[in-house]
């Protein structure tokens, strides 16, 4: 049975093997690169590429006045990836099924390869692009998706990112968030913008990345306090040795800006979500590493809910 150190080394090695030579990369760092997007075809049960989504038919669903954005890091290094992701998606499916019909769900996932970003099919996507950071040692980037508000033709920009890991010198997360903020704030006709993900906030400067870039921190805006246990999203479900060494922290965050949205609620989710009990072999592999339970990931997820204001409706 592999140890966590061995899993980490193997993951880094595999990432290096998958890295493309710069001569084969078509995009320019720090600039938008159009990203294809897909819609699930219920009849054929496959993902179909979409060139441009048709406008939602208003008679088919109530007007959407609220968006709930879920963000969750599903650790890529741990074994039983498929079983863990299936359990995580089942948890998200249950959570989103309880939303009011006037609320659209958006799901940001980090680390896993099953798909980093899911949108309520009732939303009209007008643009999708990715910005690859030049300041990165880990090939980090940010994904941006624009949703058009038909009534006003204004847009809501939603973004997913996984900022640089570890305490590097010099640090890279400040420049990464600075670049992401540029694309959150500079888009033409934007009513508002939200970015959420694993921000790897483990150093003092991370606490001001939102204010340094004229953004709001959803957790803090609703009365949360920095370094408070009720905000921690990493550590509770980590290996005991890692928790003792690094403690718990608020790695996962949601930042936002714009007058066309209003923050309504913020909460954590995903506490004690485990691999299905029928998957004994996969559960045992996690428990053998030293985890207290067969958790799907070492992170808790975050959910931020926003109202669309100024009499706009999606």
Per residue in 104-128, pLDDT tens?
A: 999 999 986 545 578 888 888 999 9
Confidence class for position 151, pLDDT limits 50, 70, 90: low
Determine the average pLDDT of the residues in 281-298.
Answer: 98
Signed CA dihedral, 57, 62, 68, 70: sign only: negative
215-263: per-residue pLDDT in tens?
999 999 999 999 999 999 999 999 999 999 999 999 999 999 999 999 9
Over the stretch 16-26, which tens digit does the pLDDT of each residue have?
Answer: 555 677 778 89
Residue-wise pLDDT for 170-185, tens only, equals 999 999 999 999 999 9
Per-position b or e across 280-306, b if 16+ CB within 10 A of its CB: eebbebbeeeebeebbbbbbbbbbbbb
The token duo for 116 is 């980093």
Superfamily of domain 27-36+62-308: Endonuclease/exonuclease/phosphatase (3.60.10.10)
Give residue 225's Cα distance to chain centre.
22
């Amino acid at each position: 049975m592999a140890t966590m150190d061995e899993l980490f080394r193997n993951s880094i090695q595999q990432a290096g093997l998958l890295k493309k030579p710069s001569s084969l990369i078509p995009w320019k760092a720090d600039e938008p690169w159009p990203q294809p997007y897909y819609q699930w075809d219920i009849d054929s049960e496959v993902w179909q590429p979409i060139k441009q989504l048709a406008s939602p038919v208003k008679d088919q669903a109530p007007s959407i006045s609220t968006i709930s954005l879920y963000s969750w890091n599903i650790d890529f290094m741990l074994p039983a990836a498929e079983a863990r992701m299936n359990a995580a998606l089942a948890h998200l499916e249950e959570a989103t099924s309880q939303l009011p019909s006037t609320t659209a769900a958006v799901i940001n996932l980090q680390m896993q390869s099953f798909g980093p970003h899911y949108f309520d099919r009732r939303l009209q996507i007008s643009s999708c692009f990715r910005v690859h950071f030049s300041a990165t040692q880990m090939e980090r980037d940010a994904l941006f998706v624009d949703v058009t508000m038909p009534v006003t033709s204004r847009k809501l920009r939603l973004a997913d990112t996984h900022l640089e890991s570890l305490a590097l010198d010099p640090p890279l997360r400040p420049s990464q968030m600075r670049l992401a903020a540029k694309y959150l704030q500079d888009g033409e006709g934007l009513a508002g913008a939200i970015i959420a993900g694993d921000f790897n906030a483990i150093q003092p400067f991370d606490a001001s990345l939102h204010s340094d870039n004229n953004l709001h921190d959803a957790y803090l805006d609703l009365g949360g306090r920095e370094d408070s246990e009720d905000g921690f999203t990493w550590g509770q479900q980590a290996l005991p040795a890692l928790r003792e060494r690094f403690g718990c922290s608020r790695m996962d965050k949601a930042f936002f800006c714009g007058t066309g949205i209003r923050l309504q609620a913020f909460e954590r989710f995903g506490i004690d979500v485990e691999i299905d009990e029928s998957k004994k072999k996969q559960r045992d592999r996690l428990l053998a590493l030293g985890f207290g339970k067969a958790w799907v990931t070492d992170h808790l997820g975050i959910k931020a809910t926003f109202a669309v204001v100024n009499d706009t409706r999606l």
